[in-house]
Structure 1
Amino acid sequence: MTWSLMPLLLMVVITIVLRQAAWWGLILHFRLFSKSTTALNQILAREDVSDLGVRISTSFPGMTRILRARLTPSRYIGLPLTLTVIAALYIAALLGGLVEELMEADELVRLDENINQGLDTIRTDSVITVFSWITDLGGSAALIAVTLVTTGLLWAHHRRQIIASLWFTILGSQVTTYAGKYLFARQRPEFVTDIGAFTPSFPSGHATSAMALYGFIAYVIASDLMTRRQRFEVVYWAAVLIILIGFSRMLLGLHYASDIAAGFLVGGFWLLLGLALAENNRHQQHQQPCGCN
């Protein structure tokens, strides 16, 4: 085996090891969550706590109804939707902090340059060839083609209520990304391969597209699967693909690390909003009468 293939082999090994570690971590999380939920239910079942809850709900009925609606764990429009909105706001705050650091802190610029220079050690011909193919999966052509195919499949499988959420996610993420590109007008790093790009660097459109599109497709597939392990596999390998597309932009010398991070944050923000819209539409559809005789 030649040295040029060693970085690729190392990436494959790391991916497999992380997959097993992530699965074990997820199992541990669910066990701890189950124990915590049981302990919380025992506390809430105590007579003094129950009486306190009754007094609060009697004194503040409006606030109690709002809290119950927002914190009910068994309904998506309850606690899951609340956590989704909080996560989206947190991502937006992270993106704002990243933009501020980029505009005001020279340390981030130097870190970006050092990372790109450090990747020189693995920029072999074989690695560049593989990642040149991977990076195309996040390009405009792939974005349009995969979105159209996904739309057709959703229509054919009678999941039309999700189509609007898909396009909301894609269009929102793209508008935000290109607005940011021309607003900040950051120059790209010096190209190190024959592959070039013409739009400004910040944020990465490929990273945004990968997070928004493949993240949404992973949601669509995982939502129909029956077992936790199956859903984990879909989400994990979708995450691997998204990360590889983002990494390919740095490896090929087309973006800085902060560009990729910003693209992931933009895509993640719109992905969460799109998932919230999709789940809300699905909930409303289930609430509608079937019209059966």
Structure 2
Amino acid sequence: MNDNKKTKAKNTLLPAFLVAAGMGISIAFLYLFAQLAEEMLESEVESFDDRIIGFFNQFSNNVVDVIMFWITESGSIWFLSFFSLVTLSFLWTKKKDKWSIIFFIITIGGGGLLTKILKISFGRERPSINEAIDAVGYSFPSGHSMGSFLFYGFLGYLILRSNLKKPIKWTAFYLCGLMTILIGTSRIYLGAHYPSDVIAGYLAGGFWLIICLLALEYVKWRSASQKKPIRAFKEFIGRQLDHKL
């Protein structure tokens, strides 16, 4: 009987801890984004941007140009749109996971809308204009960086939640993270964005992704559980008080 109580307490405490941790991280992302945006508006990131751009310029050559071009394409609107449809088709036909489908659309679609709002709000000009690498419009935050963080981040979440073997699962998860970093790096190298634009894209994307995943996990938990979250929390607190008494 005591073992059952401990198991129930653990099952209640772990989700609460994960939610608290997720909210803490998302708030940290939001705070850092606000700080970076303020410094950008006050032109306090120029020396930082110049140093990073100067570092990447050391490696500029035709071969790296081609590699970076193809990497940046994997974060473009057409690329992410196509593979978003592939992901949705997989979730619909293979997994029958309606909640993941809904929140995937909210994550990607809402992220795209948020990117446009932020770009218009800050109105920062790009370091260079080049339609060939989708470098048009305002610069802050980087749409490629934010979009790739959301897409590959959600894909990484789906991979971690899958039944794949651990070596395959973690390899695929780290590849998703690597792609996100490489896409942001390519935007700096190709002169499409300032480094601060890319960091801002990651921070804004991280904030929105965590919020969406927390909401998805909550909805899935509610769908699988007949017990209301507040009631479960009260029962958990009651068990802890009884144990101490």
Return the TM-score normalized by structure 1: 0.69
Q: Distance in 2 between matches of 1:265 and 1:114?
A: 21
User: Is the 8 Å Cα contact of residues 222 and 230 (structure 1) preserved in structure 2?
Assistant: no
Distance verdict in 2 for CA 1:113–1:165, change over 3 Å: same
Q: Distance in 2 between matches of 1:193 and 1:269?
A: 29
Q: Distance in 2 between matches of 1:137 and 1:207?
A: 11
Query: Does residue 183 of the first structure (1) align with residue 121 of the second (2)?
Result: yes
What do the CA deviations read for 1:201-224 (whole angstroms, capped 9, x no partner)? 100000000000111011111111
Number of the residue aligned with 1:95: 33
Return the structure number with greater relative CO, CA threshold 8 A, min gap 6.
2
Shift of 1:114: 2.6
Query: Does residue 72 of the first structure (1) align with residue 13 of the second (2)?
Result: yes
Q: Secondary structure at the match of 1:119?
A: helix
Residue 58 of structure 2, aligned match among 115, 118, 121: 121
| Matched pairs, number | 218
Query: Does residue 146 of the first structure (1) align with residue 87 of the second (2)?
Result: no
Q: Distance in 1 between matches of 2:79 and 2:100?
A: 20
Distance verdict in 2 for CA 1:176–1:193, change over 3 Å: closer
Q: Secondary structure at the match of 1:122?
A: coil
Q: Is there any run of 5+ residues in structure 1 with no aligned partner, and where?
A: 1-67, 289-293
Q: Distance in 2 between matches of 1:194 and 1:142?
A: 14
Shift of 1:170: 1.1
Within-5 A mapping of 1:236-255: 236-255=174-193
What do the CA deviations read for 1:223-247 (whole angstroms, capped 9, x no partner)? 1136554443222111100000010
Which entry has the higher C-alpha Rg, 1 or 2? 1
Number of the residue aligned with 1:53: none
Shift of 1:192: 8.5
Q: Secondary structure at the match of 1:188?
A: coil
Query: Does residue 232 of the first structure (1) align with residue 173 of the second (2)?
Result: no
User: Is the 8 Å Cα contact of residues 204 and 260 (structure 1) preserved in structure 2?
Assistant: yes
Within-5 A mapping of 1:188-203: 188-190=126-128, 195=133, 197-203=135-141
Return the TM-score normalized by structure 2: 0.82
Q: Distance in 1 between matches of 2:118 and 2:56?
A: 26
Shift of 1:193: 10
Distance verdict in 2 for CA 1:189–1:221, change over 3 Å: same
Shift of 1:109: 1.2
Shift of 1:194: 5.9
The one-letter amino acid paired with 1:81 is V
Q: Distance in 2 between matches of 1:278 and 1:112?
A: 36
Number of the residue aligned with 2:160: 222
Query: Does residue 260 of the first structure (1) align with residue 180 of the second (2)?
Result: no
Q: Distance in 2 between matches of 1:193 and 1:149?
A: 26
Number of the residue aligned with 2:20: 82
Number of the residue aligned with 1:18: none
The one-letter amino acid paired with 2:115 is T
Q: Percent of pairs identical after alignment?
A: 30
Q: Distance in 1 between matches of 2:82 and 2:109?
A: 14
The one-letter amino acid paired with 1:262 is A
Shift of 1:190: 3.1
